Structure 1
Amino acid sequence: MRHALYFTPEPDDALTRAAQSWLGRSAFAVETVASPAPAGFTTDEFRRVTGEPRRYGFHATLVAPFRPREGLSREALTDAADSFAQRCAPFTIPALAITRIGGFFALTPTESDRVAALASAAVDHFNDLRAPLAAADIERRRPDRLSERQRAYLDRYGYPYVKEEFRFHMTLTGSLEPEVATRIEPALQNHFAPLLARPVRVGSVALFVEPEPGADFTVLSTHRFGIAEARKSA
């Protein structure tokens, strides 16, 4: 069983609903969501395009999937998420853009300093709670292709793309062949266009769980940021 700390908007947020209808699944529930294939794609082809992000659920990674250290209870994990969230203050991402990152497409922020700081603090907070990586996990990251700093982060944090290597993104497709990427990009722009200029509030984090290898990730618990509320009551 693996867990991860992600950012995902509220279940009833317009961005969440748009992403669910694109991916065909809600991370907050077990049922599927209607996801009509865009023009030029068959249903099966479109499901292949969105297959990988559909399994993980709509999110931005803060702490990548990890196995809890031996003897650590689920309650201890949710308590850790609570204590982390209570130290955070809400902020807003001014706008998003559809961006191609390597072979896949994702939503990325127009400004990223605040989310980068959030992710950096999160990996520090959770690092002592994860089990050491197995040899197969290290090999899956293709360490021979990592930079020296990325390899050092893989050894220290269990994931190479943290700290200076972090890039906030909310994945919308798997890795695509260039021809497929060219065809799907207009559909992505059309689907998300009404929401790209809309600010995104970051006021909570979510603990996700993968019950067994290969299973869908779902939201186990959400944890609202606490600093603003504490100030209001002072």
Structure 2
Amino acid sequence: MTPWRLALYWAPEENDALHALGSTWLGRDAASGRAQTQPAVDGMDLAELTADPRGYGLHATLKPPFRLARGYAAARDAAAALAGRTAPFDLPPLAVHDLDGFLALRESAPCPALTAFANACVEALDDHRVPPSEAEIARRRPERLSARQRDYLDRWGYPYVFEEWRFHVTLTRRLAPKEKAVVMPAVTAFLGEAPGRKRQVTSLSLFVQPAPGAPFTIAERLPLRG
């Protein structure tokens, strides 16, 4: 059965400690689809704070979710071709950051190879993307976007691509300052040394959403072979 939406993401490999810890923090493992018992955070409802990122799984977006114009197999072949011509590369150490009120893992230094990979994902799969509906565009609040972001939304179906893209692994919803004062040290301590360890980007993860509102799961990890 063709999934409702496909997304191209980076996700830590399953043998990477960050996969287990990050999935436990969010409360769901996107590889297995199984729920995880979240840690306790004093005075906080962690299940509520992580509800949105939990549905998407532990990841960083390369090409955001899109409905398929030609079916899953054709899109998978295009993604595999991209992975086949992309060489593995080092990912800078990650750390917890405040990203416009959301807590997220971000890279500690610029990574041109990562930016190039994200750009290639946006372009290489675009023929397989159904353009967003008027309602989907409206949900992006185009009146609040910059001119360039609006152009990207019109052309690529998403405003935060190319120069507007920022690598981030979302860990919470947007937090109030009092919430952040508790949750930021809690997630930093819970993840420990795992984000900062040396790692390479060695695969492109295909995440699928089987139906509207359903959680995303990892359908396949395509190895980089360039």
- TM-score, structure 2 normalization: 0.95
- Supply the distance in 1 between the matched residues of 2:200 and 2:186 (Cα, whole angstroms): 25
| Match in the other structure for 1:26 | 29
- The equivalent residue for 1:207 is 206
Using the TM superposition, give the Cα deviation of residue 73 of structure 1 relative to its aligned residue in structure 2, in angstroms. 1.9
Deviation of 1:77 after TM superposition, in Å, equals: 1.5
Amino acid at match of 2:144: R
* Pairwise CA distance, 1:36: 2.2
Shift of 1:40: 3.2
Please state if 1:77 is matched with 2:80.
no
**Deviation per residue, 1:109-154 (Å, 9 max, x gap):** 1123221111001101011110111001100110000000000001
Cα separation, 1, equivalents of 2:23 and 2:88 = 24
* Cα RMSD for the two superposed structures: 1.1
Per-residue CA deviation, residues 11-61 of structure 1 (Å, 9 max, x unaligned), is 1211101101111110011221121222333xxx11011111110000000
Moved over 6 A (4+): none
Please identify which structure carries the higher helix content. 1
Identical amino acids, percent of aligned pairs: 44
2:55 maps to what in 1? Answer: 55
Pair 1:38-2:41 in alignment: yes
Matches of 1:196 and 1:13 in 2, distance apart?
10
1:1-234 matches, cutoff 5 A:
1-41=4-44, 45-69=45-69, 72-111=70-109, 112-227=111-226
Q: How many residues align?
A: 222
State the one-letter code of the partner of 1:29: S
Give the Å deviation of 1:200. 2.5
> Per-residue displacement from partner, 1:63-119 (whole Å, max 9, x unpaired)?
0010111xx121111111111100101011131111111121000011232211110
Residues 154 and 5 of structure 1: is their aligned pair in 2 closer, same or farther, counting only changes over 3 Å?
A: same
Asked whether the 8 Å contact 1:78–1:221 carries over to 2, the reply is no
Shift of 1:222: 1.1
Name structure 2 gaps, 5 residues minimum: none
Stretches of structure 1 that go unaligned for 5 or more consecutive residues are 228-234
Question: What is the identity, as a one-letter code, of the residue corresponding to 1:48?
Answer: E
- Kindly indicate whether the alpha-carbon contact (under 8 Å) linking 2:38 and 2:46 is maintained by their aligned counterparts in 1: no
C-alpha separation in 2, matches of 1:167 and 1:200: 19
- The question of whether the paired residues in 2 share the 8 Å contact of 1:93 and 1:110 is answered with no
State the partner residue of 1:232. none
**1:183-212 CA distance string (max 9 Å, x none):** 111101111231233122101011111111
User: Which shows bigger deviation, 92-101 or 82-91?
Assistant: 92-101
